[in-house]
Amino acid sequence: MPNCRSFTPFVKAKDARPDSGTQGADGFRGDRPEPGRTGQIAVPTTARFALYGKPLPRIEQALRLGEAFRRAVLGRARRILGEQGIPRALSGHDLPAENRHGHAFWLPEPNPQGELTHLLLHVPTGLGPEAMQVLAALRDIRYGELDFQVLLEGMGGSETFAPHSALVRESRVWRSLTPWLHPWHLKKPALRAADALHEALLGQLRREWQARGNGLPEIVGFSEMPERDFSGRRLKPVHYHRFRQKRDLAQPDRLGRMIELTFAEPVRGPLALGFGCHFGLGLFAPA
């Protein structure tokens, strides 16, 4: 196994403080220290793992790997902290109504060929000391019948990883890596004409985006892409696994779309929207 880079030191709870700075694509404050402040470190929001095994999963299986990533971390948390000690920011359970997607995003990260080589855990409200302890102890992930080793590359603000991960860079224009599935049911008038459908989908995108936080750059518009090219492998939504393993979930959209999103101003990733966005669906990369 190759040696990994160390992006940031692990942050002790007594040194951590609430985030400050610019807003990211998740709608929460960024992770940059306040100008002129010393001796304090911003609360980390993001952890990046390298994934090792053969064959590596492909982007078409991003949802399955995202769910396996969560199971592995929560299993480790259960062993270290006990069932009642699992951080809510990781489990996503018993969260306040105003949480607005502030809990964990479990995001597989592809290389240009569409192989999933890394895993990104992003918690907009921040990683507490218990969550960091769990992540530092994670060594492997069970994916179907296969076991993959993982290596923690570091924890920090999302921009920490921008030199190495396109998912956390800034852009005005973002394109689907995995299909976007609209999160709410469409009303019948929206299905009667292409223009009406486009406006209804744009309305859902804007509604979800605006719920992520105040003062976010506006979504100017979107266009549909016929496919996503991964080094000659041209993938349509039908090629992706699009259904959660959790049963009895309402899923308004079972097909999905590949889209290009345009914002009024640059936003920083990671950017994931729509049904299943916490597990790898609706994942975007800068154009």
- Using one digit for the tens of pLDDT, what is the confidence trace for 72-89? 999 999 999 999 999 999
| Crossing angle between the packed helical segments 62-81 and 129-137, to the nearest 10 degrees | 110
| 159 and 213 share one domain | no
pLDDT at 270 over 90: yes
Predicted confidence at residue 11, as pLDDT, reads 42
| 126 and 197 share one domain | no
Q: Which domain holds residue 227?
A: 170-286
Q: How far apart are CA 197 and CA 268, in angstroms?
A: 28
Local confidence band at 9 (pLDDT 50, 70, 90 cut-offs): very low
Convert the pLDDT of each residue in 249-262 to its tens digit: 788 999 999 999 99
Mean pLDDT of 94-113: 84
Q: How far apart are CA 163 and CA 160, in angstroms?
A: 8
pLDDT at 287 over 80: yes
Q: What are phi and psi of 180, to 5 degrees?
A: -90, 125
| 116 and 206 share one domain | no
Predicted confidence at residue 58, as pLDDT, reads 97
| 84 and 150 share one domain | yes
Higher-pLDDT residue of 4 and 253 is: 253
| 102 and 182 share one domain | no
Convert the pLDDT of each residue in 118-150 to its tens digit: 999 999 999 999 999 999 999 999 998 899 999
Any alpha helices (H) in 82-192, and if so which ranges?
Answer: 88-91, 129-137
What is the overall mean pLDDT for the chain?
86
Mean pLDDT of 94-121: 88
pTM: 0.84
Mean pLDDT of 67-73: 97
pLDDT at 204 over 90: yes
| 180 and 137 share one domain | no
Predicted confidence at residue 92, as pLDDT, reads 86
Instruction: Tell me whether residue 7 is in a domain.
Output: no
Local confidence band at 23 (pLDDT 50, 70, 90 cut-offs): very low
> Which of 141, 163, 185 represents a domain boundary (last residue)?
163
Predicted confidence at residue 26, as pLDDT, reads 53
Pairing mode of beta strands 233-235, 228-230: antiparallel
| 159 and 45 share one domain | yes
pLDDT at 244 over 80: yes
Instruction: Tell me whether residue 123 is in a domain.
Output: yes
Q: CA distances (Å), 9 to each of 77, 113, 188, in order?
A: 21, 31, 53
Instruction: Tell me whether residue 6 is in a domain.
Output: no
pLDDT at 154 over 70: yes
pLDDT at 7 over 60: no
Predicted confidence at residue 42, as pLDDT, reads 77
Local confidence band at 101 (pLDDT 50, 70, 90 cut-offs): confident
pLDDT at 32 over 50: no
DSSP state of 88: H
Helix-then-strand count for the chain, H and E:
4, 14
| 30 and 70 share one domain | yes
Local confidence band at 15 (pLDDT 50, 70, 90 cut-offs): very low
Predicted confidence at residue 247, as pLDDT, reads 72
Instruction: Tell me whether residue 174 is in a domain.
Output: yes
